[in-house]
Amino acid sequence: MSESRRDILQCIGNTSLTALRNIVPANGSRILLKLENENPTGSMKDRMAFAMIEAAEADGRLAPGGSVVEYTGGSTGVSLSLICAVKGYPLHIVTSDAFAREKLDHMSILGARLHIVPSDGGRMTEKLTRGMIEAARIIAEETGSFWTDQMKNRDQLAAYHGMAEEIWAQTGGRIDGFVQSVGTAASLRGIAEALRRRDERIDIVAVEPSESPVLSGGPPGAHKIDGIGAGYVVPLWQDGIANRIERVSTEEAIAMAFRLAREEGLFAGASTGANVIAALRLAEQMGPDATIVTIMCDTGMKYLRSYGTRLEETSR
């Protein structure tokens, strides 16, 4: 009989690692997915949100009776909404109509107050990102809230160091490559740092939208992969953090998300689709004995409306 948990926050982390069985590289490399949809809100962001709040409580930046503010495409906001609900902190979320309606609804249900910044036709752009950041700064100043400021907050790195240790233990130290898409860059950086401490030979691959390939030196642009591709080089990014950067388009990412659902029974968001495409490309460059780990960032339940619209369009 499993032990009881003090509260829902104790259910964050220690997620499963599973192998792809049908969407596999021809050369026989093994691709493993870290199932972050098993976290309480269905997203890996539960880890970093919990770490940011706990660190701020520990050093006094967030005092009892205080409030919290953040700008977010949704998953970080849902995670913060859960944690603030459990801990009793009022939460202001700056977000946009560019992001999945399910995420915005989830935040509201958990008690967050939403401030919506209009987008350009539902697309993610640099202008939108910067507008959301400025709105969060103003709210923090006016309300005296603790601003988690995920694009700059280094407290979250510890959460991803822990995630890397889980991956290392689950693979028995047998890992040749790690692939992750870049939003704030915290997950890629934190996991890469910890894995390289274990084995500096591990090949680290960053993933960004091909429509906005700023990390690999291209121009900013608009895309529709939730949670990644801010449109500029984010503060937590470091040159050398990845051995290479793969560009994946919105269409490729969404198509792979549908394949994962239909061929593997794994219902995920487009960022996971992008991860798997990049992992398959890396596998083509490695031998048949290679093991590559990537992340199922969240559950596809967060995107039911947009996926439904796409299904209707393709069936016409």
So which residues are the catalytic ones?
Answer: 45, 271
Q: Which residues contact 190 (CB under 8 A, 6 or more apart)?
A: 156, 157, 158, 159, 160, 161, 163, 164
Q: Print burial letters for 53-74: b (CB count within 10 Å at least 16), e (below 16).
A: bbbbbeeeebeeebbbbbbbbb
Strand blocks (E) in 197-290: 203-209, 244-248
User: Measured between alpha carbons, how far is 40 from 12 in angstroms, rounded to an integer?
Assistant: 6
Give me 180's structure tokens.
């992750």
Residue among 301, 279, 285, 287 at smallest CA distance from 32:
279
- Tally of CB atoms within 10 A around 29: 22
Residue 265 identity (one-letter amino acid): G
Q: Are strands 91-96 and 68-71 parallel, antiparallel or unpaired?
A: parallel
